[in-house]
Amino acid sequence: MKKSILLTLNRLMMTVIVAMSLFSTNSMANSGTLIENQTDLETVSGHFKDVGQAKFRVLFFNIYQSRLASESGEFDKQTAYVFEITYLRDITQSDLIERTIEQWQHLGIDERQYQAYLPKLQALWPNIKKGDQLALFVENNQAQFFYNQAFIGEVNNGTFADDFLAIWLSEKTSQPKLRQQLLGMHSNG
């Protein structure tokens, strides 16, 4: 019994240590990559060209308008890109996080992996009001979030950007039409 408690505490401590190292807030600021001393999205990606845009609706309700853009106008996750969501209705932070988790579960992303992201997302993401924009800027597989064009924080984890964007761009997405629109694909039918 004592041994199992010690093992559980040890695992918990390792999880905390790993999570803290993944979400260091200063490591990128000193790395010379991404945004240095820039605080708005327009400065970073104003020159980007659209890859695609899509509106997400549930029944008759418009939920958000999304946009994927890059320097070339083509999506290549090896180069810098921005994914923007402009919300067309209010959504609480807890609903936003819950929906994100549901999509990661749909995609089959390992629970331990996405659970490690949650403390950072809870610290970064606000309650959303109609007209607000949440954007993700990615370069060198590092992710920076912007809220209404202002920098709000980063997620320093090599897999986060791929896992987050997979919600919309994975072939296993729950919204294949949005995927096609965001990637600039046009269906023949």
* pLDDT of res. 31: 35
* pLDDT of res. 38: 52
**145 within 8 A of 120, measured Cβ to Cβ:** no
Q: How far apart are CA 78 and CA 30, in angstroms?
A: 21
* pLDDT of res. 24: 36
Which amino acid is located at 109 in the chain? I
pTM of the model: 0.77
Write b or e for each residue in 52-78: b if 16 or more Cβ atoms lie within 10 A of its Cβ, otherwise e. Answer: bebebeeeeeeebebbbbbeeeebeee
Per-residue pLDDT of the chain in tens (189 residues, 90 and over written 9): 544 433 333 443 333 333 333 333 333 333 333 444 456 777 777 789 999 999 999 998 999 999 999 999 999 989 999 999 999 999 999 999 999 999 999 999 999 999 999 999 999 999 999 999 999 999 987 899 999 999 999 998 889 999 999 999 999 999 999 999 999 986 544
- Neighbour tally for 20: CB within 10 Å: 10
* pLDDT of res. 18: 33
**163 within 8 A of 99, measured Cβ to Cβ:** no
Q: What is the CATH number of domain 40-182?
A: 3.50.70.10
